[in-house]
A and B are shown apart, each in its own frame.
Chain A
Amino acid sequence: MTSKTCAVIDYGMGNLHSAHGALQAVAGDTKVIVTGDPEIIRKADHVVLPGVGAMRDCMAEIRAQGIDQVVAEARKTKPLLGICVGMQGMMDRSEENGGVDCLGLFPGEVRFFGNDLIEDGEKLKVPHMGWNKVRQIHHPLWNGIEDDTRFYFVHSYYVEAQRAEHVKGSGHYGVDFAAAIGEDNVFGVQFHPEKSHNAGLALLKNFLEWDGQA
């Protein structure tokens, strides 16, 4: 019997070392592969869609390399995890770079925090960078992680889900935003589990053990 595989999708937008390393650290017998090859992604048992950088470039690469197609297939068939810009890319549209159409797996938009974010009289800096609390909504990926645990975020844009039932974790930074979204076998996180110490590793382990039943 061959062991299970988890494909971390590489569409040429930068460093996937961290995501690979953290997943592999909790993967047990599952083999974690960083790849842009649609055939390997199709065969994988779990799929991770990471993302860093600007949305327009990300979506352009995703489309140019046919990754949109494999992600759409994974959406129907197997556990799929979007991280940071990978999660944002699952929405309908982002207002980054003057407006970019995204993959449309979830209805809703990706919005800019703005340059005049204020809370309690204090100016909030953008990007939202650092460890912030996530209020969980029951889901298998939170198993064993305490509610309101802090995760590591770095982002200037945030997800505004159109349908409240898609929000699986909420964050607050001047505004309320979706820190995690999910439906069926798909989950997305705005924070970086691969950089979020023990809580992040626990979430990744939950993902690799997940059968895709919400």
Chain B
Amino acid sequence: MALAKRIIPCLDVDKGRVVKGVNFVGIRDAGDPVEIAKRYNDQGADEITFLDITASHEGRDTTVHMVEAIAEQVFIPLTVGGGIRELADIRNMLNAGADKVSINSAAVYNPEFVREASEKFGAQCIVVAIDAKQVGDNHWEIFTHGGRKPTGINAVEWAAKMAEYGAGEILLTSMDRDGVKSGFDLGVTRAISDAVNIPVIASGGVGNLDHLVDGVLQGKADAVLAASIFHFGEYTVEQAKQHMAAAGIEMRL
């Protein structure tokens, strides 16, 4: 099969700066989003994801300007997430140059929003982000508010429902892994990838390049997302792609 698996560097942006926390707290500054996006584009990233983690009302304009600046210089797909709550938010981000938006809590509060968004803008630009935590054997639950608030929703069933509602892709973040560098939660990644017929992006927990390989080969992810291993210069995107290709994975080199 010739379709390449994708590597997606993720920029978590707070007040105009790229940051990265451990388990969503303990923030570390990693630089200017536009410069970093450009660097990853030059290194061969397959897409870029921009997550506005402040997502405060005042911060929206800053985000729009940054998305515009990135879209002017980066000619690969750009996904923007954080604070996407209504159709107008989606339109604003697409008009600023985003190719896809990622919907997280708003989908949990109102699943119909995903259906409306998909009908209006097309499934290809609607990513549903799922923040999951393991709560038992082969049982994962959706959490909101940066992993603090349980919802009682089964993550695998939820992913299938979102696909049915018109999501074009699932961005799965394992909250107990995020920022701790011990590898993806392969169990939930695999369970969701098997349960849906749309692409699944694995996220949360990448600490080395073997974790990326495991996400694809064992987790059956279609794409892998990582942040800190790239931000602080541990690895380049190119090195990551070479490593995955050497493990027998189809990559765009």
Contacts and interface: CB of A to CB of B under 8 A. Distances in A.
Contacts, number: 98
Interface stretch (B29-37, B120-128, B224-232): B120-128
A61 to B, nearest CB: 14
B2 A132 contact: yes
A172 B96 CA distance: 33
Contacts of B124: 52, 127, 129, 154-155
B97 A17 contact: yes
A18 B97 contact: yes
Contact of B99 (A18, A155, A156): A18
Interface residues of B, number: 33
Q: At the interface, is chain A mostly helix, strand, loop or mixed?
A: mixed
Contact of B252 (A15, A17, A150, A201): A150
Q: At the interface, is chain B mostly helix, strand, loop or mixed?
A: loop
B199 interface: yes
A190 B6 CA distance: 19
Given A18-B97, A54-B122, A125-B198, A196 B75 contact: yes
17 contacts: A15-B94, A15-B95, A17-B96, A21-B75, A22-B75, A123-B197, A125-B196, A127-B168, A132-B3, A150-B4, A150-B252, A152-B77, A154-B77, A192-B77, A195-B77, A196-B76, A200-B75
Interface of B: 1-6, 41, 44, 46, 71-72, 75-77, 94-97, 99, 121-125, 168-169, 196-199, 222-223, 252
Given A14-B94, A131-B6, 18 more contacts: A15-B94, A18-B99, A53-B121, A54-B122, A119-B1, A120-B1, A122-B1, A124-B3, A125-B197, A129-B168, A130-B199, A130-B222, A131-B4, A132-B2, A133-B2, A154-B77, A173-B1, A194-B75
Interface of A: 14-15, 17-18, 21-22, 25, 52-54, 115, 119-120, 122-133, 150, 152, 154-156, 172-173, 192, 194-197, 200-201
